[in-house]
């Protein structure tokens, strides 16, 4: 079983409009709502790949109730969210159908108390028993210490569970010091972490700071991986156009599934890139187009870096 942690869960709301114009009034052509937050998106893709997955994090208020109700309809996903008094956040994505561009509005999330954080840590440590891998994903809600992910990384390492960390800013910096097995920053997050805008140098610096493996997400250029076994680049065979929402989370699912299946690194990277591109091509944000994925998987070039 794989565990994904989303400390700042959300109800993702997507509006599609014919054309997005600042200061204008818009007629919405389609609305979708689904449980969200990076770890929940990762879990959805893992389940579609055939893995048993449990999601945990915080849930509260009417929005949290809606997230849990909808999670019950997600096949292969077990809900282990921990209740809090504050209300789970909403995220709103507005998709411009003319250009394909997406505008994202993210609420901050509930204020989590020290007692609620302590209760979560106890529940999380209990869940680590029998887990094949854990993914720690996304932003921190208000009230949590900036070193929260470092605490969770150390607990996973103490339980001998491989841990992937996908966050940004100071939460990433603190979490890195706890020595996660994998981190997956994008180019901007990696530059902020290391001070270098040159990915080869930046991934090397991030490894020195504590990560066993650094997977840099370079957007349309794919992934750059610095691992204990070598360095690789993997990229889509051609540029893809569509809605990138959730593409990075699909890449995390590809990396995590490859880890628990003990695939060699080139195969893990090809899967991650193919899933990410197939998510961009999907008509629904956060899903992946399976036919596109299977076609892309055979076409993704992986080369030594």
Q: Which residues are catalytic?
A: 249
Q: With contact defined as beta carbons under 8 Å apart, do 80 and 123 qualify? A: yes
Q: Is 175 helix (H, G, I), strand (E, B) or coil?
A: helix
Strands (E), 126-248: 133-137, 163-166, 182-183, 213-217, 223-227, 230-234
Q: Report the candidate in 127, 133, 76, 128 with the shortest Cα–Cα distance to residue 259.
A: 133
Residue whose tokens read 């992934």: 223
DSSP track, 65-130: HHHHHHHTTSTTEEE-PEE-SSPPEEEEEEEETTT--EEEEE-------HHHHHHHHHHHHHHTTT
Question: What is the Cα–Cα distance from 181 to 275, expressed in whole angstroms?
Answer: 21
Structure tokens given for 39: 């770890």
What CA–CA distance (Å, rounded) separates 127 from 125?
Answer: 5
């Amino acid at each position: 079983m794989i565990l994904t942690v989303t400390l700042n869960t959300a109800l993702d709301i997507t509006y599609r409009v014919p054309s997005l114009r600042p200061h204008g009034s818009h007629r919405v052509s389609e609305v979708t709502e689904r449980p969200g937050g990076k770890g929940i998106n990762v879990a959805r893709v893992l389940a579609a790949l055939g893995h048993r997955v449990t999601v945990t994090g915080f849930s509260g208020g009417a929005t949290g109730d809606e997230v849990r109700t909808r999670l019950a309809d997600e096949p292969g996903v077990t809900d282990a969210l921990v209740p809090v008094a504050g209300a789970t956040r909403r995220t709103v994505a507005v998709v411009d159908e003319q250009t394909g561009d997406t505008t994202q509005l993210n609420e901050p999330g509930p204020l989590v108390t020290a007692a609620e954080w302590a209760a979560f840590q106890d529940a999380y440590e209990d869940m680590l028993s029998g887990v094949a891998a854990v993914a720690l994903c996304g932003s921190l809600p208000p009230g949590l210490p900036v070193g929260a992910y470092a605490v969770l990384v150390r607990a996973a390492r103490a339980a001998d569970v491989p841990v992937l960390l996908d966050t940004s800013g100071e939460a990433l910096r603190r979490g890195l010091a706890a020595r996660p097995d994998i981190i997956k920053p994008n180019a901007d997050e990696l530059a902020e972490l290391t001070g270098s805008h040159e990915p080869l140098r930046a991934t090397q610096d991030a490894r020195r700071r504590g990560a066993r493996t650094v997977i840099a997400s370079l957007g349309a250029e794919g992934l750059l991986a610095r691992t204990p076994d070598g360095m690789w680049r993997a990229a889509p065979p051609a540029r893809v156009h569509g809605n990138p929402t959730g593409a990075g989370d699909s890449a995390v699912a590809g990396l995590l599934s490859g880890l628990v299946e003990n695939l060699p690194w080139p195969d893990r990277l090809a899967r991650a890139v193919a899933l990410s591109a197939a998510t961009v091509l999907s008509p629904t944000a956060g899903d992946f187009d399976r036919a596109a994925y299977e076609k892309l998987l055979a076409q993704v070039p992986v080369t030594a870096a």
